[in-house]
């Protein structure tokens, strides 16, 4: 059985053969048990997966269809497929069925890897971090200022130095919201998520700030840490931000749509 046979079966099932071609194909099927069996297998797969496009947006439907195919071809108690009628004893046909099954498994596995990657908590926030948090704004007129030195270290990805500067500034002045925010971001990009959470928790509780991204950064950090319960806690924080239209609410809404 070659690739042309599959193409001809597909054309036959979808009415793309003219009258003469259709008659020739049906005549061939009448004398070719293997081809007739393959047609029924192909048709069964088509009936279970008729709209391939919808599975890109409907994981549940894809899982159900794959489960149905498994029941049809590999559950010996099913009544939808007569294995004798398919001549499964034919070694060649058996190999074809196995090949179809293998292709389905590979396609499904690839799909689910994409879906899992898309819904992975870290993946959800990686783009935001890469686009928004890899550098901090720095003024040109204050190069000797400690805050600017910390920002320069941050932008150079010297997070150990940046943390030392920002935390030192905050110890001297606990009203310095920018210092604790930048310390938290430094810990976040340094993958010290527990310390980042501590900093953002302090930031989120500060009052009378023009804007306070503490809760949003806390949610981002929870998704990056990704311990048990972190995703749900992050979801709740994001929902709160959206509800209260607080700092980061627009990005929070975008993230929630991907959960």
Q: 37: pLDDT confidence band, cut at 50, 70 and 90?
A: confident
| Confidence band for 212, pLDDT divided at 50, 70 and 90 | very high
Residues 129, 145, single domain; the answer is: yes
Q: Could you give the percent of the chain with pLDDT greater than 90? A: 43
pLDDT at 177 over 80: yes
**129 & 222 share domain:** yes
Q: Are residues 16 and 108 in the same domain?
A: yes
What average pLDDT does the segment 137-153 reach? 79
**Does residue 11 share a domain with residue 90?**
yes
pLDDT at 83 over 50: no
**CATH number for 159:** 1.25.40.10
How big is the chain, counted in residues? Answer: 259
b/e for 246-259, b at 16 or more Cβ within 10 A? bbbbebbeebbeee
Single out the residue in 85, 118, 151 at which a domain terminates. 118
Sign of CA dihedral 216, 121, 159, 151: negative
| Mean pLDDT over the full length of the chain | 78
Same domain, 140 and 108: no
Are 41 and 92 in the same domain?
yes
- Which residue range forms the structural domain that includes residue 170? 122-256
**Residue 16, pLDDT score:** 83
113 and 127 part of one domain: no
Of residues 223 and 2, more confidently modeled? 223
Instruction: Mark whether 89 and 131 lie in a shared domain.
Output: no
pTM, 2 dp:
0.57
Domain check: are 71 and 128 in the same one? no
Q: Are residues 26 and 76 in the same domain?
A: yes
pLDDT of residue 135: 95
Whether the Cβ atoms of residue 197 and residue 218 lie closer than 8 Å to each other = yes
Lowest mean pLDDT among 28-32, 143-147, 217-221: 143-147
Range 215-243 average pLDDT: 95
Position 25 scores a pLDDT of 87
Higher pLDDT, 6 or 86: 6
Last residue of a domain, one of 87, 118, 149: 118
Give the gyration radius of the chain's Cα atoms: 30
Total domain count for the chain? 2
Report the pLDDT averaged over residues 223-250: 94
Condensed to tens digits (0 to 9), the pLDDT of residues 191-207 reads 999 999 999 999 999 99
* Mean pLDDT of the region 7-22: 82
% the chain with pLDDT above 70: 65
118 pLDDT higher than 80: no
193-222: average pLDDT: 96
Domain end, chosen from 70, 99, 118, is at: 118
- 87 and 133: one domain? no
Mean pLDDT comparison of 25-29, 39-43, 67-71, highest-scoring range: 25-29
pLDDT at residue number 41? 72
For residue 67, what pLDDT band results from cuts at 50, 70 and 90? Answer: low
Residues 130, 244: one domain? yes
**3-state SS class at 229:** coil
Q: What is the mean pLDDT of residues 133-151?
A: 81
Identify the band that residue 164 occupies on the pLDDT scale cut at 50, 70 and 90: very high
Judged against a pLDDT cut of 50, whether residue 54 lies above it is answered with: no
Longest dimension (CA), the chain: 91
For the chain, helix (H) and strand (E) counts, in that order, are 13, 0
Q: What is the pLDDT of residue 81?
A: 47
């Amino acid at each position: 059985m070659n690739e042309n046979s599959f193409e001809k079966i597909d054309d036959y099932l979808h009415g793309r053969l003219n009258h003469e071609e259709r008659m020739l194909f049906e005549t061939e099927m009448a004398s070719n048990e293997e081809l007739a069996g393959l047609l029924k297998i192909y048709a069964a797969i088509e009936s279970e997966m008729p709209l391939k496009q919808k599975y890109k947006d409907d994981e549940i439907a894809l899982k159900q269809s794959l489960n149905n195919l498994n029941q049809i071809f590999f559950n010996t108690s099913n009544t939808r497929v007569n294995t004798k009628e398919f001549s499964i004893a034919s070694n060649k046909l058996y190999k074809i069925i196995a090949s179809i099954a293998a292709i389905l498994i590979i396609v499904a596995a690839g799909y689910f890897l994409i879906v899992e990657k898309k819904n992975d908590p870290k993946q959800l926030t990686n783009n935001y971090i890469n686009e928004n948090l890899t550098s901090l704004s720095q003024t040109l007129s204050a190069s000797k200022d400690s805050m600017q030195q910390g920002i320069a270290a941050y932008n150079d990805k010297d997070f150990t130095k940046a943390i030392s500067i920002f935390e030192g500034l905050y110890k001297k002045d606990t009203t310095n919201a920018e210092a604790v925010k930048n310390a938290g971001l430094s810990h976040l990009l340094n993958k010290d998520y527990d310390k980042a959470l501590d900093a953002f928790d302090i930031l989120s509780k500060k009052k009378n700030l023009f804007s306070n991204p503490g809760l949003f950064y806390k949610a981002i950090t929870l998704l990056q840490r990704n311990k048990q319960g972190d995703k749900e806690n992050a979801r709740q924080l994001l929902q709160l931000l959206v509800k209260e239209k607080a700092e980061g609410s627009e990005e929070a809404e975008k993230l929630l749509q991907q959960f």
